[in-house]
A and B are shown apart, each in its own frame.
Chain A
Amino acid sequence: MNTIVVGQLQRQFQDYIVSLYQQGYLDNQFTELRKLQDEGSPDFVAEVVSLFFDDCAKVINDMSTSLERPDHVDFKQVDSGVHQLKGSSSSVGARRVKNVCIAFKECCDVQNREGCLRCLQQVDYEYKMLKTKLQDLFNLEQQILQAGGTIPQVSMN
């Protein structure tokens, strides 16, 4: 094991994950998730976020359908979708996604289709962005492990 390489990778990992928190992509819940990962379930975090992203795609798709026709928008369905997204984003600590949901809900409440469409677009962007970021993070983790190192526990205060 090349300790220097491992050290570098670990630092890289640490910086990267801290930046994600600082830029608001992630919040404390993500930290909690990482704490739950153990030898029994070494891919726990990756599995959970994977479920989350799948869920996002589906919900966003459904909402998109509901918002499609200007004359016939099913705001109830959209509202329900927003609620779902808010719930699941809070489960993984997807802070930006959650924030969009808050704005999204407001548009829904006043039945503002335009606003909803904008929010929908934004939430789609945010979850995909987060997906990319986390993918990078998991890659870093893999590199560390392959280099024989351990993944640092990062505590955000």
Chain B
Amino acid sequence: MEKGGFSPVGLRVLVVDDDPTWLKILEKMLKKCSYEVTTCGLAREALRLLRERKDGYDIVISDVNMPDMDGFKLLEHVGLELDLPVIMMSVDGETSRVMKGVQHGACDYLLKPIRMKELKIIWQHVLRKKLQEVRDIEGCGYEGGTDWITRYDEAHFLGGGEDVSFCKKRKDFDFEKKLLLQDESDPSSSSSKKARVVWSFELHQKFVNAVNQIGCDHKAGPKKILDLMNVPWLTRENVASHLQKYRLYLSRLEKEKELKCYSGGVKSIDSSPKDAEVNSGHQSPGKSSFVFSGGIFQKATETDPKPLASASLSDPNTDVIMPPKTKKTRIGFDPPISSPAFDSLLPWNDVPEVLESKPVLYENSFLQQQPLPSQSSYVANSAPAIMEEEMKPPYETPVGGSSVNIDEFLMPQDKIPTVTIQDLDPSALSSMKLQEFSSNVTNNTEAILRSWELPESNHSASLDTDLDLSWLQGERFLANTGLQFQDYSSSPSFLSELPPHLWYGNERLPDPDEYSFMVDQGLFIS
């Protein structure tokens, strides 16, 4: 039964390029490959499209240089929020640029002019990602599973007798895959439907608590975390997937903070999420000190973080003072992970004390004019990404439940008036700010880029590598990172308060200038 074989027909591609000529050409070329093409001239627009139809695309191809947003930022967002494969393009083939693409998670980097033959095989990245997802999930909890599931995957997915094209079979395949995986992991489950895990605020809190508890042990693996969390219905796979996203999120934060520090001057005391945890830990161990994500958003125009409805700040005063936005450049930077729970761990809460002259939190300026609601909206938008997703295909295959929406994501008590990001954007951002932003970016970016390019690439590379390695190995929390965040410009004393495992092996703490750089880089997320 020779398979009709795998067919990439109907692959849903989103092309993002500010050059109208290239956009037209690429559209034509992709259509000739029998793909389903959507074009977009702005990164912001692309993100909007992607978020609107979370399962609407299989792969994103984007140019590196775009006016409204750095292509690498877009890349990060897509990777984190949507977990889609992203291909970068540029007319510039400089090693450092390509490296940056890889570091930020691009699955490929194409040089313009792009040839048809290169586009004809981009579907491999979609396939690869799917297979990897399955392997990752199984790999960490099921010894023999990897081989088995891979074989199953490949045999089935690659069309054991049937044509598995993107538009036709994926739903069936994924549903079956879920069944199989679920049965493997939970033999007692009789239902063929798997409930989607809602990583609520509290749940994430438990998760983080567990992670902290495991502490110095460097071995915060999904199983241990699961055990500590003591949530009966939660599976190790759920935790593993969540952990992966969490790590990615933290690593992005680290990088960004570094960027800020590097370009700036103020030595920040702590700017790692772990700091926040530790900090909170000091205040009230394992308690709701983590919970002040709401505060982040609230701080747009306030100098003092106030406890918000959803948060019970154990010690508001020690929480970071968000400086009123000083530069209007940071309009809307979305933290990589949009869960409010994640936000609570943001170092930003602490950093601002030091970064007085610099705008710190992305959320700050982003949500400038709409404090609270933005939190929920942001969460809502990215919620599905944070959700337990290993079983979930990138397209709509609701298994065992409704698709995630904001109401699911936030527990009732956490609910805040919902405002979608899309709604938020126009009201929150004035065009003036945008202009200021773009001019700031142009002015500062190049200089800053040059100044810190090397260090950034060094540690970024290792960070990602290490994260990947540890992830694959399954049980090591943040395996030997040996991360070289070189510019160690922080106060050692504060560092010592951090549980080692939270350091990621890196002692570097960001300078505010990196923050300002990040601010300048900014993101327009609509």
Binding site for B on A (CB under 8 A): 29, 32-33, 36, 41, 44, 47-48, 51-52, 55, 76-77, 79-80, 83-84, 86-88, 90-93
Contacts and interface: CB of A to CB of B under 8 A. Distances in A.
B22 A88 contact: yes
Interface string B268-286: 0000000000000000000
Contacts of B22: 87-88, 91
Contacts of B20: 51, 55
Contacts of B92: 83
A80 B91 contact: no
Nearest to A92: B21
Contacts, number: 55
Interface of B: 19-22, 24-25, 28-29, 32, 63, 65, 90-92, 112-113, 115-116, 442-443, 446
Contacts of A90: 91, 112-113
A52 B22 CA distance: 9
B25 to A, nearest CB: 6
A48 B24 contact: yes
Contacts of B446: 76, 79
Contacts of B112: 87, 90-91
B29 A36 contact: yes
Given A77-B442, A87-B112, A90-B91, A48 B19 contact: no
A29 B113 CA distance: 7
A51 B116 CA distance: 21
Contacts of A36: 25, 28-29, 32
Given A36-B28, A47-B24, A87-B22, 13 more contacts: A48-B21, A51-B21, A55-B19, A76-B443, A79-B446, A80-B442, A83-B92, A87-B19, A87-B65, A87-B112, A90-B112, A91-B19, A93-B113
Contact of B21 (A52, A76, A77, A80): A52
A137 B44 CA distance: 39
Given A76-B446, A87-B19, A44 B91 contact: no
Contact of B28 (A44, A79, A80, A93): A44
Nearest to A76: B442
Contacts of A41: 28
A51 B24 contact: yes
Contacts of B21: 48, 51-52, 55, 88, 91-92
A83 B116 CA distance: 23
A11 to B, nearest CB: 29
Contacts of A79: 446
